[in-house]
Amino acid sequence: MRQKTVSGIPGLDNVLFGGLPQGSTTIVEGGPGTGKTTFGIQFLLEGIRKHNEPGIFITFEEFPEQIYEDMRLFNWDLRKLEQENKLRVVGLSPEILMDQIVNPGGLFEEMIKEIDCKRIVIDSISLIKYLNGNERKMLYTFRNVLRKHGLTSILLQEQSALKSETASVEHFVFDGYIRLAIKVRFYTLRKRTIEVLKMRGTRVADGEHPYRILDNGLYVQKRSLLSRFMQSLV
Ligand SMILES: Nc1ncnc2c1ncn2[C@@H]1O[C@H](COP(=O)(O)OP(=O)(O)OP(=O)(O)O)[C@@H](O)[C@H]1O
Ligand SMILES: [Mg+2]
């Protein structure tokens, strides 16, 4: 069986029967405030702190300073990890990233080698799709380069309410697809749910699992007995 990469999100590794397949590329999709960025950073911190796996966080939309600032809420000192060469938070444009990715020996490859990177997060790939050119081809190229370097990758994607049920090309291209959502329960109550819709090469526990965001990040809760019973019927 393929080696697993522990996600670092408590509870999610049970849903994934041990974790993400090593070297896989996974889309983590969700609406605003569902915790995508937090998920990504938490995944990198797990690698750095527990598995000696340095990581890179690429952000198209925010300056690295904003990410440092936001993540201080969880008491995560990202600057220190950067100084120790275990983490890189890089702000660049999707055009430059794609340009670098197709260019062997370019900045992207150099950065990976420099810190011996094993995990990468892109926040978010929504913008790559809007670059000029053949979208499917671009996504395949992107996926293949990540695989070539053996990186276990999380690609964050914004989800608009309108498109929530339609499958897009990226859902087919990448190895995994995880969806974060905020569901309405009983008028004003909200419930966060996480669902693994696809993960090539591993079993998954089907269905929506409740998750929470707390002071130390995301964690996936056990489903209620009733919900597990209902799932077993379908
Ligand atoms: N201790 C906490 N308890 C509850 N919620 C929290 C806690 N800390 C942070 N949050 C919330 O968790 C969310 C996490 O935000 P994050 O930036 O990861 O989401 P995102 O999906 O990346 O959002 P965006 O779509 O804006 O990029 C924020 O809305 C924040 O208010
Ligand atoms: Mg975000």
Q: Residue 164 pLDDT more than 70? A: no
Q: How far is the CA of 18 from the centre of ligand 2 (A)?
A: 26
Q: Which domain holds residue 204?
A: 4-233
In a 13 Å sphere around the CA of 61, the CA atoms on its Cβ side amount to 11
217 in contact with ligand 1, CB cutoff 6 A: no
**Is the confidence at residue 46, as pLDDT, over 60?**
yes
Q: What's the pLDDT tens digit per position in 113-138?
A: 999 999 999 998 888 777 777 778 88
Return the closest-CA partner of residue 24 out of 119, 108, 104, 100: 119
Cα 35 to ligand 1 centre (Å): 5
**Cβ of residue 35 lying under 6 Å from some atom of ligand 1:** yes
Beta carbons within 8 Å of 69's beta carbon, 6+ residues apart: none
Best residue among 29, 37, 78 to mutate for probing ligand 1's pocket (most ligand atoms within 8 Å of CB) is 37
Name the residue with higher pLDDT: 47 or 95: 47
Strands (E), the chain: 4-5, 20-21, 25-30, 55-59, 87-91, 119-123, 152-158, 176-185, 189-199, 208-214, 217-220
Percent of residues, the chain, with pLDDT higher than 70: 95
Distances (CA, A) of 70 to 7, 94, 120, 186, 218: 20, 22, 19, 31, 14
Kindly report the length of the chain.
Answer: 234
Q: Domain total for the chain?
A: 1
Q: Is 32 close to ligand 1, i.e. is its CB under 6 Å away? A: yes
Closest ligand 1 atom number to CA of residue 180 = 21
Question: Of ligand 1's atoms, which has the minimum distance to the CA of residue 41?
Answer: 18
CA of 123 from ligand 2 middle (Å) equals: 7
Report the CATH number that the domain containing residue 151 is assigned in CATH.
Answer: 3.40.50.300
Atom index in ligand 1 nearest the CA of residue 34 equals 21
Confidence (pLDDT) at 74: 95
Where residue 31 falls among pLDDT bands split at 50, 70, 90?
A: very high
Distance CA 39, CA 4 (A): 18
Q: What is the mean pLDDT of residues 187-206?
A: 90
**Residue whose C-alpha is closest to residue 68's, from 58, 60, 79:** 79
> Average pLDDT, stretch 41-49?
98
Q: What is the pLDDT of residue 129?
A: 72
For residue 138, the model assigns a pLDDT of 85
